[in-house]
Each structure stands twice: as C-alpha cells, then as structure tokens.
Amino acid sequence: MQWRFLKGLVPTVLLASAFTLQGCSLARVDDNLPYGVLNNNDLQLVEDGLPTYLLMVDGLIENWPESESLLASGADLYGAYAGLFVQEPERARKLSNKALDYAFRSACARDGDYCDLRGISVPEFEELLADASKNDVPMLFTLGGAWAGYIQQNTSDWNAVAELGRVEAIMDRVVELDEGYQYGQAHMYLGVLNSILPASLGGKPDVAKDHFEKAVALSEGKNLLAPVLYAEKYARLVFDRELHDRLLNEVLAADPDVHGLTLQNTYAQQEAEALLADADEYF
C-alpha cells in the first residue's frame, strides 16, 4: 500500500499506479468478504451490485461500531469500489475517505495504540510497527491499502502525499511478518511504489523488480494482477518490450478462475488486453 517525487510528476504517475492498486483491495480474503463477490467474473455485475452491499455493511457498522472485522470489510469494499468503479473525482474522494476512516477505526478497535496514526511522529509510527506481530498482518494490510487509495484520490493535497512514507512502512512490515499473506500482495504494492519513478529521478526499479518477482512466485501464478503490474509499472519503465509482452500474454493464457481471486484476475486480464493493444505506441 512508499515514495519519492518531483512536484508535477506525482498527480499523473501516482494516480495511475494507485488506481490499479485498488484492485488489490478486492483480494482481502476474509469471512466477512463474500466469495460471491470475489469469485465472480462479471465486473459489470459486481459494479451494479456492490452499492447495495456497501449500504448493508454501513448498517451493520452502525449496530456494531467497534467491530474490527466489520470495519475492515467496510474499508476493503469502499476502497475497491472507489478505485475500480467510480469515475467522478469528488465522489471517489468521498468514498476513499470513508474507506480510510473505516480502516483507521478497525486498527484502533484492534489496538488502542493505533488510534492516532496521523498524530504520532514518524519514529513513534515506526516503533509501533516494529511491535506488530504476525497476527496484526490482516489489519496492517487493510490499513495500507485503504491509505494508498485515499492518497490516490487526494494527490493535489500535499499533506496527503506526505503520508506515503507511512504506507510504504506498513507494507514493508507486512512483508517482514508474513510475505505470503494474500498471495504475496504486499510485495505487489511495494513493486508499484518503487517503480513510480525511473532510477534517474530517484526511483528504485531494481527493488521494484525484486518485489514483483516475489509477488508472482508467492502466488504460484494464481494472482494475475501481479504480472500485469510487473509489465505496466516495471517493464514499461525500463522499456523492456520482451518482458512486457511475455508477462501479459501469459496472463491472457491463464485460467482466471481461482478461489478468492476470480474477480481480480478478470480485471487483470482486461488490463492486460489494453496494455498489449497500445504497446506499439508506448515502445
């Protein structure tokens, strides 16, 4: 869910990167996130149906306002819906703000030390993460994803952009504690975050490549979004057409039906087709 920038580059590059990352939110496999959504291969159907489920989750949270699991599911679903399906900027910002609020509340419900994540200093924040255990990984992953989505929708707010380092620190800690969590998708986040800029402008493409390869390996090829992001964010950054096309063609040849990943994989194949279609223009 991370970053070094030059003014003027952030809005364009970060928006493109974080938009795709919101697909990651759909992959949080939890008893409170129905597999009827995750295992669906019809993006339009999910787009049409999710608002009703969001309202139901809101109602449940009203009744159980300190339920860590309900708040986490609300964060995941609002973040995914805002990033994948909402085109209007003002509405997307409102929904991503709600996702982050739910994520903060979920973290606070789990551990009171997480109730003021914006107010504490960077050293205090790092100390808090250092004290986290493997049992905290689901909470941290949801928090990092929601926070990245919030920043995506608020790239004109440099106070929001300044929080990106905290998102990277969260995902780094997830990797340290349980790098295989959710098919290694924390590595996928970190791959995108380190490939936002070329090396000449302070980016870390070699680090990004390592994270992408780990994400692909940890999912054993089941998570098709990882190679799509690898192609889009790294292969295009270093102008490696051979790697780019190989990754995307492998995605299109793969079976997207994987328990808990079908919807995300369907989205990934759609993105792979689009990237291949304009590859000649890009390269």
Whether the full predicted model's pTM is greater than 0.95, yes or no, is no
**Contact indicator for 197, 36 with CB cutoff of 8 Å:** no
**Rounded CA gap, 260 and 139, in Å?**
18
Contact in structure between 224 and 251 (CB atoms under 8 Å): yes
Among the listed residues 153, 155, 149, 148, the one whose alpha carbon sits nearest the alpha carbon of residue 169: 148
Cα radius of gyration rounded to whole Å, the chain: 18
Q: Distances in Å between the alpha carbon of 48 and those of 43, 78, 90?
A: 9, 14, 19
Q: Rounded to whole angstroms, how far apart are CA atoms 58 and 20?
A: 25
With contact defined as beta carbons under 8 Å apart, do 76 and 27 qualify?
A: no
For residues 56-80, give the mean pLDDT. 90
Overall average pLDDT of the 196-205 stretch: 79
pLDDT for position 249: 98
Q: What is the pLDDT of residue 49?
A: 86
Q: Please, how many CA atoms are within 13 Å of residue 191, restricted to the half-sphere of its CB?
A: 28
Q: Are 52 and 77 in contact (CB under 8 A)?
A: no
Which pLDDT score is estimated for 195?
84
Predicted confidence (pLDDT) at residue 14 exceeds the cutoff of 50: no
For 71: left if phi > 0, alpha if psi spans -120 to 50, otherwise beta; the answer is alpha
Residue 167 sits at the vertex; the CA angle it makes with 251 and 11, to the nearest 5 degrees, is: 75
Q: What average pLDDT does this structure show over 202-217?
A: 92
Average pLDDT over residues 150-178: 89
- Give CA–CA dist 178/192, Å, rounded: 19
| Structure confidence by residue, pLDDT tens digits, 26-53 | 444 344 445 677 778 888 888 888 898 8
The answer to whether 229 and 273 have CB atoms below 8 angstroms apart is no
Identify the DSSP state of 200: G
- CB–CB of 247/231 below 8 Å? yes
Predicted pLDDT of residue 7: 27
Q: How far is the C-alpha of 11 from the C-alpha of 158, rounded, in Å?
A: 10
Provide, rounded to the nearest whole percent, the portion of the chain with pLDDT above 70.
87
